[in-house]
Structure 1
Amino acid sequence: MIKKIIFSLCIILTCSPAYSGEKEHRALARELIKITDGDTVMEKMKDQLSMVFEQLTLQMNIQQADKPKLDKFTARFQAILKDDMAWDKIENQYIDLYTTVFTEEDIKGLVGFYNSELGKKVTEKMPELMQQSMVVAREHMQTVVPKLEELTEEMRKEFVPQEDNAVEPTP
């Protein structure tokens, strides 16, 4: 019986530092997410989805008489966003991502960087940089997509047998 108690205590004592380390790792990840405004990601997504929903409703040319119906759908849409896209519903998943990708030491370094003046500037300027990067990528894709379409059309002609329209199938 004493051996079981000693064994159990050994297990508890050896696991305790690992658990403590995991808690620290997760706490650091939470801090990193906070100082980089990562916790606002869902709010930004909700804003984007709301804009898409608004554009969709504008394209439907909904008549004024149907506005009460639209208001009901809009309320349902907003409720879904509020309930299903709340930060507290996915926060642990984001923390899991950070703790999987970055070691505790990595996160300590990142927290130090993002707490510096340069890190704060990066956090402030990153949304603008990303938006402008998307514009550049979109413009570049306008020249790439036609080339890819031409290539896939050539491949289709090369590999997919063409039907011979001159030969009539026999009944």
Structure 2
Amino acid sequence: MKKLAVVGFGLFLSIACHAQDSKRESVQELLKATNVDSMVDTMYSQMGQAFAGIGQQLGIKAEDQPVFDAYMNKVFATMKEDMSWEKMEGPMIEIYLKHYTEKEIRDMLAFYQSESGRSMVEKMPAVMGDSMALSQQMVQSFLPKVQAMAEELKTDLQKHRNSQ
């Protein structure tokens, strides 16, 4: 009886491991179908463009620009190395395995393999780029308001301190 239980448990573990491997393969296929690796590359490219304007925002002087550029290049290179798709892929697969059922993964995969899904994947970098540009525009119009509120707070705090 003990041998039968051990064999049964071993068979159960084998089936469970195979199911997990199958689900993992489906997630890998889904990530490939959605071009996540190239989306990461596109994200870094867009971030590189955003980094280019940081010097102006920080008031970097022309004579200091080469030092600043070298620093930003080093930061960007380190970020790309430490956060490469090769380092992200395994943890991303685990996240998908944790949050989605095998049926949900198969359904998503079916969508992304469809004509509409492929179109979405193809157009997503442009949508993300436009969304990022919109966000930057909104932040640019928002920052002066925050700066004005910060000055107001500074003045109000000073008045409060002087009144005590």
Report the TM-score range of the alignment, normalised by the length of the smaller protein.
Answer: 0.5 to 0.7
Determine the structure 2 residue equivalent to 1:123. Answer: 121
Taking the aligned partners of 2:90 and 2:116, their CA distance within structure 1 comes to: 28
RMSD: 4.2
Matching residue within 97, 102, 110 for 1:112:
110
Taking the aligned partners of 1:163 and 1:7, their CA distance within structure 2 comes to: 77
| The structure with more radius of gyration | 1
Taking the aligned partners of 1:45 and 1:121, their CA distance within structure 2 comes to: 19
Determine the structure 2 residue equivalent to 1:98. Answer: 96
Give 3-state SS (helix, strand or coil) of 2:162's partner.
coil
Deviations 1:115-149 (A, max 9, x none): 11111111111121222233334444535983897
Count how many residue pairs are aligned between Structure 1 and Structure 2: 155
Determine the structure 2 residue equivalent to 1:22. Answer: 20
Q: CA distance change for structure 1 residues 80 and 134 in 2, over 3 Å: closer, same or farther?
A: closer
Q: Is the 8 A contact 2:46 2:129 kept in 1?
A: no
Q: Is the 8 A contact 1:37 1:123 kept in 2?
A: yes
Structure 2: 5+ residue runs without aligned partners?
none
Determine the structure 1 residue equivalent to 2:7. Answer: 9
Structure 1: 5+ residue runs without aligned partners?
none
Q: CA distance change for structure 1 residues 145 and 32 in 2, over 3 Å: closer, same or farther?
A: farther
Q: Identity of paired residues, percent?
A: 25
Taking the aligned partners of 2:131 and 2:82, their CA distance within structure 1 comes to: 29
Taking the aligned partners of 1:46 and 1:138, their CA distance within structure 2 comes to: 16
Instruction: Tell me the TM-score normalized by structure 1.
Output: 0.65
